[in-house]
């Protein structure tokens, strides 16, 4: 097609051109491959290219799918493609190949999207940055010296740079919303039970983690959620299906006066950067000007207690992941098979009792009940997505002294001692203080979204987060559609990779 510029289109826009036969899927795929080859050396967002299988997919596209022929990357964890490598960002899995499609992939296939690669993640998706030892750091398209966030950092960098319009992502503590905020994208974490998790597990991270995508447009996210929302037999959690169409909600508007609570105070009582506060204040003022009732009011939950319960799950899940590695490696896993921090976290998880684990999940349930009551009064809860702008690459790397101490502890296997001293928990909390707002929705099962409504003085995007009651993604999409048309929406095309 004469004058076609691949980066000008979102996913639904490309699909429309293909359905109208103005472009063939193979032509679009060729542009996507060309873009990845040009941009990825600078960004390190794509770690496994699937070009040959993508070409076969492009030859047999079902034009009925909403993303027919649209190039898409998937995340290197929980989004298994049968026969393809999936490494979970770890050298321990470098030779592992998926035995079957995950249910997420099975459902996304029905949209007609073409999978052409996998994206960079931190080992086992454990960090809010993407700097795995096996692949090296992914970089932010707005400034290559900064992280795109994590754990869906590679997906965010790929979408924000224009390599693809959509990319697979999942969110167990903010892993869609954090990189979405850092890279100026739209990111929705759906209600627990809304999207597929099987067939290998019935829940991820005790139900904290759910899958969807990162996208440049709100409508792409809504269309994908329409396409993959399912009642999944065997899954641990289910939610009542939405009696409608999410894509239609994007342009529907809101014909009611909403009551919106907001806060700029960290639930951990830690610092919040002035730019992140400013983004919320600006948004609150805008919504007030639209006639909504906006009041400053923090969530009725104990942020520190919830952070502790989140970390208890986090430590336990890592210990279980390491235990399952014995079968993958065909030998007993050792600290040489994974990154040092991962090994230490696993040791602490091993030293955590079943009693502590159960008590931590009870904290989630208490918070869920409290938030249900909260949303009987307030339709939405508005916060910064993150407490600070993106960190520089390497900024959060443990110091030499910390590494020496961890290495000694790892060799001795003293998880119990580390736990009693609280060293690992302190390190984890130091990381959480940069991103203390996102975990609440994971633990309560609520939907939450990040929207790009602010820029820092240094030119980096700053995200704003909205949470709604469980099952109310429709309200979030309606609001996102309004915000996307406002003067405050920061176009991702403003970053250097679109110039």
Q: Which helix (H) or strand (E) holds 214?
A: strand 210-215
Closest CA relative to residue 166, chosen from 74, 64, 48: 74
The single-letter DSSP state of residue 143 is B
C-beta of residue 175 within 8 angstroms of C-beta of residue 75: no
Cα separation, 86 vs 63, in Å, equals 28
Cα separation, 173 vs 189, in Å, equals 10
Q: Which candidate in 175, 221, 309, 360 is catalytic?
A: 175
Q: Which candidate in 75, 189, 350, 419 is catalytic?
A: 75
Q: How many CA atoms lie within 13 A of 305 on its CB side?
A: 12
C-beta of residue 232 within 8 angstroms of C-beta of residue 238: yes
N- to C-terminal Cα distance for the chain? 21
Token pair for 349: 């998880």
H helical segments located in 129-273: 153-161, 177-183, 218-228, 246-250
Cα separation, 44 vs 137, in Å, equals 7
The single-letter DSSP state of residue 383 is E
461: β partners: 455
The single-letter DSSP state of residue 125 is G
**Is 75 designated active site?**
yes
Cα separation, 239 vs 197, in Å, equals 13
Using only the alpha carbons of the chain, give its radius of gyration. 21
C-beta of residue 435 within 8 angstroms of C-beta of residue 128: yes
Q: Please state whether 171 falls in left (phi above 0), alpha (psi between -120 and 50) or beta.
A: beta
Token pair for 499: 């110039």
Sequential DSSP letters for 281-298: HHHHHHHHHTT-EEEE--
**Is 175 designated active site?**
yes
- Rounded (5°) CA angle 114-119-125: 130
467: β partners: 381, 448
**Is 285 designated active site?**
no
Q: Which candidate in 90, 151, 215, 309 is catalytic?
A: 151
Q: Which residues make Cβ contacts (< 8 Å) with residue 248, sequence separation at least 6? A: none
SS3 490: coil
Cα separation, 97 vs 60, in Å, equals 24
Q: Which residues are catalytic?
A: 75, 151, 175
């Amino acid at each position: 097609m004469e004058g076609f510029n691949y980066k000008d289109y979102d996913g639904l826009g490309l699909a429309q051109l293909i359905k109208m036969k103005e472009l063939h899927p193979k032509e679009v795929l060729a542009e996507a491959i060309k873009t990845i080859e040009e941009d990825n050396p600078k960004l390190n967002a794509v770690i496994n290219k699937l070009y040959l299988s993508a070409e076969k997919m492009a030859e047999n596209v079902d034009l009925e799918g909403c993303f027919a022929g649209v190039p898409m990357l998937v995340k290197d964890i929980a989004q298994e493609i049968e026969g393809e490598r999936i490494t979970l960002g770890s050298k321990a899995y470098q030779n592992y190949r998926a035995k079957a499609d995950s249910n997420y992939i099975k459902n996304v296939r029905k949209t007609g999207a073409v999978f052409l690669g996998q994206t960079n993640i931190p080992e086992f998706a454990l960090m809010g940055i993407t700097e795995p030892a096996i692949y090296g750091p992914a970089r932010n398209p707005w400034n290559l010296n900064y992280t795109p966030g994590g754990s869906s950092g590679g997906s965010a960098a790929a979408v924000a740079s224009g390599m693809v319009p959509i990319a697979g992502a999942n969110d167990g503590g903010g892993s869609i919303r954090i990189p979405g905020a850092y890279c100026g994208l739209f990111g929705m974490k759906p209600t627990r039970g809304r999207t597929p998790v099987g067939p290998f597990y019935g829940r991820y991270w005790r139900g904290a983690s759910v899958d969807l995508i990162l996208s440049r447009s709100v409508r792409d996210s809504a269309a994908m959620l329409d396409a993959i929302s399912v009642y999944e037999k065997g899954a641990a959690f289910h939610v009542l299906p939405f009696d409608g169409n999410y894509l239609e909600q994007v342009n529907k508007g809101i014909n009611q006066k909403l009551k919106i609570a907001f806060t700029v105070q960290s639930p951990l009582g830690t610092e919040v950067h002035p730019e992140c506060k400013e983004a919320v204040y600006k948004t609150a003022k805008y919504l007030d000007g639209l006639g909504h009732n906006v009041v400053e009011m923090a969530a009725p939950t104990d942020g520190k207690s919830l952070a502790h319960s989140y970390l208890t799950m986090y430590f336990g899940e890592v210990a279980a992941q390491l235990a399952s590695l014995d079968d993958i490696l065909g030998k007993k896993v050792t600290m040489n098979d994974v990154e040092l921090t991962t090994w230490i976290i696993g040791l602490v998880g091993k030293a955590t009792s079943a009693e502590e684990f159960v008590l931590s999940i009870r904290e989630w349930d208490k918070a869920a009940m409290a938030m249900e009551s909260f949303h009987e009064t307030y339709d939405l809860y508005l916060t910064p997505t993150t407490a600070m702008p993106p960190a520089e690459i390497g900024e959060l790397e443990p110091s030499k002294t910390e590494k020496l101490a961890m290495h000694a502890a790892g060799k001795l296997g003293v998880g119990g001692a580390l736990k009693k001293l609280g060293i690992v928990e302190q390190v984890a909390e130091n990381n959480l203080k940069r991103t203390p707002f996102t975990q609440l929705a994971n633990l309560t099962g609520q939907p939450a979204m990040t929207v790009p409504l602010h820029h820092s003085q240094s030119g980096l995007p700053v995200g704003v987060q909205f949470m709604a009651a469980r099952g109310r993604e429709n309200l979030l999409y309606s609001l996102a559609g309004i915000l996307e048309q406002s003067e405050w929406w920061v176009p991702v095309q403003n970053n250097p990779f679109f110039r």
